[in-house]
Chains A and B, each alone.
Chain A
Amino acid sequence: MLSKRIIPCLDVKNGKVVKGVNFIGLKEVGDPVELAKEYYKQGADELVFLDITATHEHRDTMVEVVKQVASQIYIPFTVGGGIKTIEDIKKILRAGADKISLNSAAVKNPELIQEGAKMFGNQCIVLAVDGRKREDGSGWNVVIHGGRIDTGLDALDWIKKGVELGAGEILLTSMDADGTKQGFDIEFCKAVRDIVEVPVIASGGCGSLEHFAEVFEKEAADAALAASLFHYGELTVGDVHKYLKERGIEVRSC
């Protein structure tokens, strides 16, 4: 049977991983390549790199990081952050990434999804959506720029459209759950998973092993993403796989 995926996410700024990391035995803790190799060894099913570099000059640093990662790990990995044009997509894929995640840029220019999917295949285009529940509770709005701007777009409408345009997966971050460590936003994930056939990757809010189990047992996601939980060494991917397996959830063993 198809297994549920566990995906560590690394935020990279100017070629270095930000957020603390304390793996024992890593040569340089902030080195994304070393960290990627560590997660690969732990049995990560996939990796996501989010480039949060603010300035344009440092963009090429990310391309270098991607090149090095690609020659050392043999699982799928996605790169997102700051990708605005087909040229940007091409550059990152050429460097060896398997998928590109589009967030704000896709909201501003939905054709980017279509063009990217047409040129590289739907499986290459991950639509990243950050959503926040509307105050009246009637649904979720798409927010961009790290949650600072509410677009007023209904998240479910936007996701439906994104999939029609060719997005092959949805990386869904709940801004309500993000950072709380209280668990994934089951309601939001489920609402999205009910309206699309493509896989949904749940992100935001994971603070424990139990939270991984919950999002899968409630059939709210196909994959779960976490960052700090792994970076701070609180859990390894191996721990999560083992726990889920004991709970009867299909995961990869390697």
Chain B
Amino acid sequence: MIGIIDYGMGNLHSVFNAVKKYDENCIISSDVQESEACDKLVLPGVGAFPDCMENLHNTKLFEPIKKWVLEDKKPILGICLGMQAMFESSEEKGFTLGFGFLKGKVIRMKEEGLRIPHIGWNQLEVNTEHPRAFLIEQKPYVYYVHSYYAHDYDPEDCIGYSYYGKSIIVPGLFNKDNIYASQFHPEKSGEDGLRILEYFIKEA
């Protein structure tokens, strides 16, 4: 059973609808015990990074999720802001610590003349060295909405990335052991996005 974590950061219904396609019993939950009964977790989220971490602490979900991922080694998928939370820190509205499951920090996109946020469909380039490269081998277009992105990450963790503007490389999809993270919205990226979700739900 997949548990979609509800910690007060935005609209979870799209994620729920897409996950339900592959797991009829999936639940949306803000309850620690209920989440712990799940086989896999999805951490969605839109909004600002500091609010995201604050809500995770306030809802008392931070420590259980940490234990779930680091000790129990159960699979987790972070989407958009949920992906950013997997990294060490973010510079959005100051400096805030994340879970630190993945090496790297989240920084603001900056480039002269660049339109921010990065909204829309962008193509994924593949890190062919990654064992999960097959997930995106056809270089699909995926749907992004964000202004911050992961930086200084371990290239070995990154499955795919997109080019934006003249110089920015936006990492789109990560996997390290039981940790999966996607900056784009697989639940809103058509059949190509669903394929990634399906893999996480059935195979991860």
Residues in A lying within 8 Å of B, measured CB to CB: 1-5, 40, 43, 45, 70-71, 74-76, 93-96, 98, 120-124, 168-169, 197-199, 222-223, 252-254
Contacts and interface: CB of A to CB of B under 8 A. Distances in A.
15 contacts: A1-B164, A3-B121, A3-B123, A71-B17, A74-B190, A74-B194, A75-B188, A75-B189, A96-B13, A96-B14, A121-B47, A123-B46, A168-B119, A198-B117, A254-B192
B14 A70 contact: yes
Interface in B142-193: 143, 145, 163-164, 185, 187-193
B30 to A, nearest CB: 15
B104 interface: no
Given A1-B163, A5-B121, A98-B11, 11 more contacts: A1-B122, A2-B118, A3-B121, A45-B120, A45-B121, A95-B13, A121-B47, A123-B46, A123-B117, A123-B145, A124-B10
A3 B189 CA distance: 13
Nearest to A45: B121
Contacts, number: 92
Q: Identify which of A2, A93, A253 gathers the most chain B CB atoms within 10 Å of its CB.
A: A2
B47 A223 contact: no
B200 interface: no
Interface string B115-152: 11111111100000000000000001101010000000
A169 B20 CA distance: 29
A74 to B, nearest CB: 6
B188 A2 contact: no
Contact of B115 (A5, A199, A223): A199
B107 interface: no
Contacts of B204: none
B18 interface: yes
B17 A96 contact: yes
A199 B13 contact: no
Contacts of B118: 2
Given A1-B164, A70-B17, A98-B188, A252 B141 contact: yes
A74 B189 contact: yes
A45 B190 CA distance: 9
A93 B11 contact: yes
B115 A197 contact: yes
A96 B188 CA distance: 12
A151 B18 CA distance: 41
Contacts of A2: 118, 120-122, 164
Contacts of A124: 10-11, 46
A122 B119 CA distance: 11
Q: Identify which of B18, B115, B185 gathers the most chain A CB atoms within 10 Å of its CB.
A: B115
Given A70-B17, A95-B13, A121 B141 contact: no
B121 A70 contact: no
Contacts of A120: 10-11, 46
A222 B115 contact: yes
Contacts of B163: 1
Contact of A3 (B120, B188, B191): B120
Given A74-B191, A253-B141, A254-B140, A222 B13 contact: no
